[in-house]
Amino acid sequence: MLEIRHLKTLHALRETDSLVEAAERLHLTQSALSHQFKELEERLGLQLFIRKTRPVRFTSAGLRLLQLADSLLPQLRSAERDLARLAGGTAGRLHMAIECHSCFQWLMPTIDQFRDAWPEVELDLASGFSFAPLPALARGDLDLVVTSDPVELPGITYVPLFTYEALLSVANQHPLASRSYVRPEDLASETLITYPVERDRLDIFTRFLEPADIEPAQVRTSELTVMMMQLVASGRGVCCVPNWALHEYSTRGYVTARRLGEKGLFATLFAGIRADMLDSPFMRDFLLTAKDTSFATLEGVSAAPKSR
């Protein structure tokens, strides 16, 4: 009567708090997911959650199945790892670099879990800010690169991890704090604080300001998000950061977050991987762990489109 997919869909619904986002995460249509829930409820003769509620309200039956999911799904992942070891592929190398200043919030817990699960794999992490990591990936010096700027390279596959919204952080007293969204021309008189990377890798320039032929009054850089937030809060400028990085500061009332453009500015974070590494058991497990950790720890991320 019960199948693993049922537990996974219930778990995804609890994590996303939305049928639409749960369907995206599981790479299903909303109609297919709704049909799956309806079919299961008809089999059980019980309702699992209350429709059209936010947050989603689970019934006693739904909560009981979530207890089972919390117990069984980690055991299933552990068993899959053990089977992968029995089939070979337990040892290897996973050298990675990141092109994202805000990624440590979810990447470090991912690495900790991975080390525990795959102690035989040689793991190394480098910052990709002082060198070009994607060419190093293509040469074989690296095995994985976390990037939001995929470049087509022979033998490299980009696996989407999650989609996020880039938001503008402004001081609470700033005139833009009263706007529902920010227009490119609003930044013409502002000091824009960015991470110290080339401007052609910053969406705030390439996808927001430059198409409108707008240049900020001044640009200054900072390597640390916390320093950027301090500068913003003290009225020294504005900055564009991922919604998950801004969440802890905006929810505490330290700064104000505003959408860039009426429809928002969205981007996807990818794991760039060499094709010869893509099917290794420990690489597949690292990607699953990274996705699970990011969805569990980051506010405002959603499932990304399928691999490119």
Handedness of CA 182, 184, 187, 191 (dihedral sign): positive
- Domain-embedded: residue 272: yes
The residues pairing with 93 across neighbouring beta strands, listed in sequence order, are: 122
> Based on the domain organization, do 217 and 228 belong to the same domain?
yes
Instruction: Count the domains in the chain.
Output: 3
> Based on the domain organization, do 142 and 280 belong to the same domain?
yes
> Based on the domain organization, do 193 and 255 belong to the same domain?
yes
> Based on the domain organization, do 157 and 276 belong to the same domain?
yes
> For residue 247, how many other CB atoms are within 10 A of its CB?
17
pLDDT score of 197: 83
Q: Could you tell me the end-to-end alpha-carbon distance of the chain, in angstroms, rounded to an integer?
A: 36
What is the C-alpha to C-alpha distance for residues 156 and 153, in angstroms, rounded to an integer? 6
Looking up residue 24, the CATH number of its domain turns out to be: 1.10.10.10
- Domain-embedded: residue 308: no
> Based on the domain organization, do 252 and 297 belong to the same domain?
no
> Based on the domain organization, do 118 and 207 belong to the same domain?
no
pLDDT score of 58: 93
What is the C-alpha to C-alpha distance for residues 308 and 290, in angstroms, rounded to an integer? 18
> Based on the domain organization, do 205 and 68 belong to the same domain?
no
- Domain-embedded: residue 176: yes
> Based on the domain organization, do 112 and 157 belong to the same domain?
yes
- Domain-embedded: residue 307: no
What is the C-alpha to C-alpha distance for residues 304 and 306, in angstroms, rounded to an integer? 7
Domain with 107 in it? 91-161+268-302
- Domain-embedded: residue 296: yes
| Phi, psi values for residue 226, rounded to 5° | -65, -35
> Based on the domain organization, do 18 and 142 belong to the same domain?
no
The residues pairing with 73 across neighbouring beta strands, listed in sequence order, are: none
Nearest Cα residue to 297 out of 108, 53, 70, 75: 108
What is the C-alpha to C-alpha distance for residues 67 and 7, in angstroms, rounded to an integer? 10
- Domain-embedded: residue 194: yes
Strands 156-170 and 256-260: antiparallel
pLDDT score of 87: 66
- Domain-embedded: residue 32: yes
What is the C-alpha to C-alpha distance for residues 45 and 32, in angstroms, rounded to an integer? 20
Residue 255 near residue 170 (C-beta atoms within 8 A): yes
What is the C-alpha to C-alpha distance for residues 16 and 298, in angstroms, rounded to an integer? 11
pLDDT score of 220: 95
What is the C-alpha to C-alpha distance for residues 197 and 182, in angstroms, rounded to an integer? 23
CA separation (Å) from 4 to 13, 34, 48, 69?
14, 16, 16, 8
pLDDT score of 106: 81
> Based on the domain organization, do 188 and 175 belong to the same domain?
yes
What is the C-alpha to C-alpha distance for residues 182 and 24, in angstroms, rounded to an integer? 28
What is the C-alpha to C-alpha distance for residues 63 and 195, in angstroms, rounded to an integer? 43
pLDDT in tens, the chain (308 residues): 788 999 999 998 988 888 888 888 888 888 999 999 999 999 999 999 998 887 889 999 999 999 999 889 888 887 777 777 656 666 688 999 988 777 777 888 899 988 888 888 888 888 655 668 888 999 888 999 999 888 899 999 999 999 999 999 999 999 999 999 999 999 999 999 998 888 888 999 999 999 999 999 999 999 888 999 999 999 999 999 999 889 989 999 999 999 999 999 999 999 999 988 888 888 988 998 898 888 888 888 888 765 54
What is the C-alpha to C-alpha distance for residues 241 and 219, in angstroms, rounded to an integer? 15
> Based on the domain organization, do 45 and 67 belong to the same domain?
yes
> Based on the domain organization, do 57 and 114 belong to the same domain?
no
Looking up residue 204, the CATH number of its domain turns out to be: 3.40.190.10
Nearest Cα residue to 228 out of 175, 189, 264, 191: 191
